[in-house]
Each structure stands twice: as C-alpha cells, then as structure tokens.
Amino acid sequence: MKNVIQFTDKIPLKSFIIWTVGGIIAVLIIYVSLYPVGLMFRESVFYWLPEWYFNPSFGTDDMNLIAMTFLAGIFIDGIVGPVTEELFFRGYLLPRMSYLKNWAPVVNGTLFGLYHFWQPHNMIAIIGVGIILSYVVWKKRNVYLGIAIHCTINIIGALGGYLAALDGTIIGR
C-alpha cells in the first residue's frame, strides 16, 4: 500500500493536532469568506438550475425524512467520501505531482475543486479548501492530516444540516 499512498510519514501527535486544528481553522475561514461568492454565482450564473438541485427538502415537508437524510450524510459525506477523496487526491495524486514543485498543492487543490462539478456555484470555495488540504498534506507528507481535516469539516456541515432539520429549518446548499 505504501507504493500507492505515498504521503504517510509519521509525525508527532502534538504536531498532528496542531496541523489538524490549524487546517480546520484555515478551511473554515476560506469557505465561510467565499460562501457569499457561491451564493452570488448561484443567483447570477446558475439561476437556470432547477430548485431541487439546491434544495434538499424539495418535494417533501417531512422534516424527519430530511433530518434522516442529513444523518446518513454524516456517515457518507462525513467519512466515506472524504476518506476516499483524500486517499486519491492527496495520498495518490499529490506525490506524483512533485515535478510541479511548489505549484503541486495549487494544481492538486484546483483539480479537487473541479472534481466537485455537482457544486458549480461553490467551485471557488472548494478550490480554496482543496489548496489548503493539499498544502497541509504536502508540507507534512501525511495524508492522515487531510483525512482528519476533511472529515471534520464535512461532519460539521452534515451535523449542522441534521440539527437544523430537527429544529424545522431548511438548509439549501
């Protein structure tokens, strides 16, 4: 497996925690600050997409069903998806981009963002997040940092949607 997933260097636990917390903070700052740009793109560029594309509750008023969908999202979008994406983008692809030198995290993060084609309105924010994830993994040569940061961010998002649905609030994406 070491030949496939190359960035698995061991780092001290304290360093792992510091880089993970720093990465989470950086990702939150980038995503939250660029979220309004995504909303602007949603309204001005992607206005032609149907309502069901953005609205997870489209077609139902059953808040329990919506809450259960977000609960499933905690597992699927919070663990399965991020682990798979990190193993591919940062564990497999990023080390093979070393010929790009310091541009490797930028190119890798951009590819990661473009891969999220089902969220075209959020592409700029996701590219920013991808660059941060790529930089952290590149700098420490440890894909587990990317997994920890990515899973945490996605779990926070899915948990927020779940708690909002339990409260009777609809959250669009």
User: Where exactly are the structural domains of the chain?
Assistant: 13-166
Alpha-carbon distance of 160 to 169, in angstroms, equals 10
Q: Which residue has the higher pLDDT, 72 or 171?
A: 72
What mean pLDDT comes out for the span 44-58?
A: 86
Q: Which residue has the higher pLDDT, 48 or 69?
A: 48
Quick count: other Cβ atoms within 10 Å of Cβ 75? Answer: 12
> Can you tell me whether residue 142 is helix, strand or coil?
strand
pTM comes to 0.92
Task: Give the residue among 169, 78, 40 at the shortest CA–CA distance from 86.
Answer: 78
Contact 100, 107 (CB under 8 A): yes
Neighbouring CB atoms inside 10 A of 118's CB total 8
pLDDT of residue 52: 85
Q: What is the sign of the dihedral through the CA atoms of 136, 139, 143 and 145?
A: negative
CA within 13 Å, CB half, 134: 28
Question: Averaged over 82-92, what is the pLDDT?
Answer: 98
pLDDT bin (cut points 50, 70, 90) of residue 172 is low
% of the chain surpassing 90 pLDDT: 75
Pairwise CA distance, residues 135 & 94, whole Å = 10
Distances (CA, A) of 60 to 52, 165, 169: 11, 12, 13
Per-residue confidence at 171, pLDDT binned at 50, 70, 90? Answer: low
Q: Is the pLDDT of residue 1 over 80?
A: no
pLDDT digits (tens, 9 = 90+) for 95-119: 999 999 999 999 999 999 999 999 9
Q: What is the mean pLDDT of residues 112-130?
A: 96
87/156 Cα distance (integer angstroms): 20
Measure CA 158 to chain center: 11
Tell me the pLDDT of the chain averaged across its residues.
92
